[in-house]
Amino acid sequence: MSAAESCVRCHGLGYMPGKNKPICKCVLRSIFRRCLSHYRAMADQHNPQLKRKVLMWHFRSLDYRADFWLTARRSLAPHEFSIFRRHLVAGEPWFRCCRRVDRGNFYHAVYRIEAKLGRAFKETQPYALYPPGRY
């Protein structure tokens, strides 16, 4: 977990002393971004011509991708999941995702989604999606 040094809440420490939720949102967003980059790497390495040696690793990558998607679906409200699906996973520009929302409010929603999913990926039991290397 890496905290942003420019964070005004935790000042790069990663936690907020004296709060009920000690992990700062910059850390949760970092967790989400690491899991998202691992998800994209797994999607890019999809090979329809599998050999016997690669088959087990391929199923693990499919399991990770499915757990990533289903955790996001369960954790987010329908309008948040739409932004997640269209902007964060598919990469559509902000103005195509939400036509009635201005840019600032859209990106505030994206940051809330990233923090919410970062917490969900970290706290999923019995097998958390973060860190991706241990999945």
- 57-72 tens-digit pLDDT: 567 778 888 899 999 9
**Is residue 102 one of the residues assigned to a domain?**
yes
Residue 99, both tokens: 């036509």
**Is residue 76 one of the residues assigned to a domain?**
yes
Domain hosting residue 78, numbered range: 25-134
Count of domains in the chain?
Answer: 1
pLDDT tens sequence across 9-59 = 887 788 877 767 688 889 999 999 999 998 888 877 765 555 555 555 567
**Is residue 15 one of the residues assigned to a domain?**
no
**Is residue 52 one of the residues assigned to a domain?**
yes
Cα–Cα distance, 27 to 9 (Å, whole number): 11
Q: What is the pLDDT of residue 56?
A: 57
**Higher pLDDT pick, 46 / 74:** 74
Q: What is the pLDDT of residue 32?
A: 94
**Is residue 123 one of the residues assigned to a domain?**
yes
Return the percentage of the chain with pLDDT > 70, whole number: 86
**Is residue 19 one of the residues assigned to a domain?**
no
pTM to 2 decimals?
0.82
**Is residue 30 one of the residues assigned to a domain?**
yes
**Is residue 89 one of the residues assigned to a domain?**
yes
Count of all residues that appear for the chain in the document? 135
Cα–Cα distance, 101 to 79 (Å, whole number): 12
For 53-111, the DSSP string reads TTHHHHHHHHHHHHHHHHHHHHHS-HHHHHHIIIIIIS---HHHH-TTS-HHHHHHHHH
